Amino acid sequence: MDPVNGGNNTHKVVYTYDPEDLNSKKKKKKKGKPEGSRKKSRTWLKALLIIFLTIAIVVLAGIGLKMNNVSLSLDSLDFGSFDTSMFFSGNSDDEKAESEGDYIGVLSIHGTIGEDSQTYNQQWLLETIKQMKDDPANKGLILSLNTPGGGVYESDELYFAIQDYKSAHKPVYSYMESMAASGGYYISAPCDKIYANRNCWTGSIGVTIGTIFDVSELLDKVGIKTVTITSGENKAMGNQLEPMTDEQLEIFQSLVDEAYDQFVGIVAEGRHMSDEDVRNIADGRIYTAKQAKELELIDEIGTFDQAATDMMAQYKFQNCSVRQFSYEPPVTWKSILDLISNAGNTQATGEYQELMNLMEKNGKFTIAYLSEVRK
């Protein structure tokens, strides 16, 4: 390698002492300023090395967190002496392969129903239920729930998926962990048996459309004028920039009432109760496991181990293993870059920024079977 010009030579170079040649090289060195170029190259190399190391650390941290989450999720379920050697992640190719031997599937439903997260994915849940229904090795299903509920549409989708699974003459149990409220109870109602941890909160049988803000007076205060152009007086109802009329309030209430009637019917059918009895206890309140059992909203208070043992004994599944199905999001370059980007974001504060954040939610409503009370 030429130490002056930085060239790459594959042959051996022999240097001889020639004063004139040496002087000419010194002159070239002064004119071309190769030292500065090399310093600039080294700076870029350092920058690239730092970026590479940062990405590597994030990837390793993500993998470590992923493994830690799996470990925590398994420790939180008391599987006792059951065989849990086979665990499926939400994106594993093994998930689509048929299991070896008969098994009871345990489907984790963790997080807000309908909101994709690190633990929840609606489409994955629907596909997994369908897969187990069609799998001859699968003999039963236990829903392992830790959710405050969620969207009306998504909760109803899961309800129909569970009903479809039961059409294959396979039993379904619900095991309520720390919380299975509102939409969580909605999808538990059709199950053949409901177990709840003694520390569980459940119930919250009701519907919410959330809080609708009226910031019209605030806008007047700060001198902001708005104009909304619509084809009818109720087209922009719920607009935070205008006071809600009595007619619009009635329209919103009718949407909530219809979803509530549907919820009551689901509970009445699943728990073999009359609509009137359900309405008497379905005012949206949270119930403890003990209170829920007294009201016959659940069947037993116990551990996951007891629920699995019950299913095995009730349906003579002694030779079945118990296998966990939990969603895990894929680790992609986009997710890594999003993580790096979000880590550098700062939340702006101040009256005007809060106002702008509120304006972004203007006109967006979700009718939900969602508990506002959280653990």
Catalytic sites, residue numbers: 182, 235
CA dihedral 91, 93, 94, 97 (to 10 degrees): 120
By CB neighbour count within 10 A (0-12 exposed, 13-18 middle, 19+ buried), where does 223 fall?
exposed
Angle between the N-to-C axes of helices 122-134 and 152-166, in degrees from 0 to 180, rounded to the nearest 10: 10
How far out from the chain centre does Cα 304 lie? 22
Question: In the chain, how long is the greatest CA-to-CA distance?
Answer: 109
DSSP for 196-230 reads E-TT-EEE--S-B-------HHHHHHHT-------
Distance, first Cα to last Cα, the chain: 68
Q: Which two tokens stand for residue 369?
A: 């079977």
Q: Which two tokens stand for residue 240?
A: 């935070």
Rounded Cα gap, residues 194 and 143, in angstroms: 9
Q: Which two tokens stand for residue 110?
A: 């963790």
Rounded Cα gap, residues 161 and 180, in angstroms: 18
The answer to whether 245 and 253 are in contact (CB under 8 A) is no
Rounded Cα gap, residues 338 and 82, in angstroms: 39
Q: Which two tokens stand for residue 297?
A: 């909203």
Rounded Cα gap, residues 90 and 239, in angstroms: 39
